[in-house]
Structure 1
Amino acid sequence: MKLTDLAKEGIEIRRQVPLSKYTFTKTGGPAEFLAFPQNETELKKLVVTTYNNKIPLTIIGNASNLIIRDGGISGLVIILTNMNQIKVQKTKVIAQAGATIVDTAFTAAGSCLSGLEFAAGIPGSVGGAVFMNAGAYGGETCNTIENVKVLTRSGEIKNYSRKDMKFSYRHSLVQETGDIVLEATFALKNDVKSRILADMNYLNALRKYKQPLEYPSCGSVFKRPAGHYVGPMIIQAGLQGKQIGGAQDSTKHAGFIVNKGNATATDYLDLIHLIQKRIKSQFGLDLHTEVRIIGKPKD
C-alpha cells in the first residue's frame, strides 16, 4: 500500500504545505506530504505505510518547542492535533497525544485533581510533553505519569510505565526508540478545585509577566547548564536584544528568541549559533538547545 492508496481510503494527505502555518515561531519550510490523522486507526495506517515503503516520517505535536529549517521536511509529516481526547477516571487523567497539556491540566483541575498545575501555561501537546519531559516552575511531566501508550514505527502498540520511560531532564525513552506517543495516563491527587485553579492562575500570571508572549517564539531555547542560568549569561555577554533578520533575543526574557516580523528559521539558527559561540568564549560553557531543530536547510 502506498500513500496515494490511503488518500483513496479517505485519509487526507496534502502536498507541499508550508509548515510555518503550524509552528509557534511562524517559520519553517514545506512538508513534502502532510496528514492530520483523526484516530489511532488512521495513524497506524499512515505509519505502517511509511515504514513498509521506506518513506521518511516526522511526527509533530503542537509545534511549540520546534524549529523547522527553511528547506522543509522530506517524506510524510504527521501532525497529531486532531487526536485530542481527554478522559477522567477517578484520580487519573488519560489524554491523547494531540491534546494540549494546558487543556489536560485544566480538565484535571475541573475534576478536583492536583499534580498538573505546573503545566497550566506550557503551550505544547501531551505527546510533546512526554517526549521532552516538559517542565516549568519546579514541576515535570514525569512526576505524574503512570503509563504511556505508544505506536512503534512498524505498527506495534506498546505500553510503558514511568520507570520504563527513562525520564530525565528534557529526555525520555521515546527520543531513543522513535516510538510515537498515542496517549498518556496521569496519576493525580484529589484536592480543592479553587486551590488548584489559584495555583494555575498564579503561574500563568507569572509567565505573562516574565515571558515575551506577545511575539511568536519557540519558548525557552536552551537547556539550563548545571549551576547556571542561561538568561543572565546572555545578558552579561551583551546579546540581549541582538537581532538577526527578523529573529531577536527577547528584551523581556533573554532565554527566548522571538519573531519580530518575517523571521526565517535560518535567522533563528544564526542567532542561536552566535549565542552559543559567545557563551562558550566568555564562560567556557556549551549551551545545548532545548528546542528541537529538524528539517533541511534551504537550497
Structure 2
Amino acid sequence: MNELIYNDLLAILKTNHVKMNEPLSNYTFTKTGGKADILVLPTSYLEVRDTYNYALTHQIPITVLGNGSNLIIRDGGIRGIVMVLVQMKEVECKGNQIIAQSGATIIETSRFALEKRLSGLEFACGIPGTVGGALYMNAGAYGGEISDVLKEALVLTSEGELKTFAAEELELSYRSSRFSKEHLLILEATFELTPANVDEIKAKMDELTFLRESKQPLEFPSCGSVFKRPPGYFAGKLIQDSGLQGKQIGGAQVSTKHAGFIVNVDGATATDYLELIEHVQKTVKANFGVDLETEVKIIGED
C-alpha cells in the first residue's frame, strides 16, 4: 500500500522530495521521533494542494510539519503522509509589508525586515520556528507576539481550497489560534510593519539575541520552552524551585541553564522526553498545586 502511495506521489512531486520510512528525527530540533510511512517535501502551493487533495481523495491520514522546533514526535512515528514545508521559504517585501511563505524561519524573516528597514518583528529574532509554526502558536517573546503584526494569512482549507483570512478572523491568543482548532494549513503570512531607523532595529535585535543566548541552553538539541506560562507563575521558576534542574531520564535532561527547557544530552528518545515531562508535571503539582500545560506539540504513535 505504501509503495502505491509513494508511486502516486512521485507524479506530484520530484523524486528526491518523496521518501519512504523516513526517520522523523531528521526533522525535529530534539533529534527524536520515529519514522514517517511517506514523507513529502513540496516546493509550491500547487504541490501542497495536490498532495493534500490526493490524501483526502484516498482517505490517507496527512500530517503537516514545519521545521520541528516546538514538537515532540513519539517513537512509533506517524502513519500515512507527512508533509514538511521547509522547502517553501520565500520572503518578499511590498511597501511596509513582509510576505513570507510558511516554511521560512521567523528568525530569517525578522532579519529580512531589518534589511528593509521595517520594525515590528524584532521580538522574533530568536524564535527558532517557521512562519507557519509561529502563526499556529501565536508565538511571542520579549513583549511581542505574532498577533501584533500579522495582517493576513493564506491557507489551504480542510476542503482543499485556497483562502485568505484577515488576522482578526484567526482567534490569535496566548499560544493559541484558530489553526490549532481547525484543519487549516498555513501557506503564507503577510506582516504589516513600520519604517524605522535601521540602527535602532538592529540594536534591539542584538539586545534580544544576547538575552536569548545568555539564558537559553542553545548548545543542546531541545524543543524550546516546554510548558506554557501558568497564570500568576513562571513555569521555569516552579520547576527550579522543585529542585528539578539537572533531573535526567534516559538522555533527556531538565536544563541546568534554564529550567523551562528539556535538552537532549545523550541520545534521548521521545519516550525519555515524555517521561521527564510527566515527572516534572507531577512534581510541580505536588509541590505547588499548579498544573503545567505543555506548550510543545506532541504527536505520533507510541
The equivalent of 1:21 in structure 2 is: 26
1:203 alignment partner, SS class = helix
The answer to whether 1:156 aligns with 2:161 is yes
Residue 272 of structure 1, aligned match among 277, 280, 283: 277
The equivalent of 1:76 in structure 2 is: 81
Q: CA RMSD in A?
A: 1.1
The equivalent of 2:7 in structure 1 is: 4
Answer whether contact 2:13 2:47 (CA < 8 A) is retained. no
The equivalent of 2:127 in structure 1 is: 122
Answer whether contact 2:155 2:186 (CA < 8 A) is retained. yes
The equivalent of 2:152 in structure 1 is: 147
Amino acid at match of 2:267: N
- TM-score using structure 1 length: 0.97
The equivalent of 2:264 in structure 1 is: 259
- In the alignment, the residues of structure 2 paired with residue 25 and residue 102 of structure 1 have an alpha-carbon distance, to the nearest angstrom, of 18
The answer to whether 1:214 aligns with 2:222 is no
Residue 50 of structure 2, aligned match among 35, 45, 52: 45
The equivalent of 1:238 in structure 2 is: 243
Which structure 1 segments of 5+ residues have no match?
none
Aligned residues: 297
- In the alignment, the residues of structure 2 paired with residue 277 and residue 54 of structure 1 have an alpha-carbon distance, to the nearest angstrom, of 39
Residue 197 of structure 1, aligned match among 195, 198, 202: 202
Which structure 2 segments of 5+ residues have no match?
none
- In the alignment, the residues of structure 1 paired with residue 119 and residue 103 of structure 2 have an alpha-carbon distance, to the nearest angstrom, of 21
1:26 alignment partner, SS class = coil
The equivalent of 2:171 in structure 1 is: 166
The Cα shift of 1:3 comes to: 5.0
- In the alignment, the residues of structure 1 paired with residue 12 and residue 24 of structure 2 have an alpha-carbon distance, to the nearest angstrom, of 25
The equivalent of 2:255 in structure 1 is: 250
Amino acid at match of 2:58: N
The equivalent of 2:140 in structure 1 is: 135
1:225 alignment partner, SS class = coil
The equivalent of 2:291 in structure 1 is: 286
- In the alignment, the residues of structure 1 paired with residue 138 and residue 150 of structure 2 have an alpha-carbon distance, to the nearest angstrom, of 10
Residue 64 of structure 2, aligned match among 59, 62, 79: 59
- In the alignment, the residues of structure 2 paired with residue 9 and residue 184 of structure 1 have an alpha-carbon distance, to the nearest angstrom, of 25
Residue 89 of structure 1, aligned match among 94, 119, 141: 94
The Cα shift of 1:154 comes to: 2.3
Answer whether contact 1:118 1:203 (CA < 8 A) is retained. yes
Answer whether contact 1:58 1:77 (CA < 8 A) is retained. yes
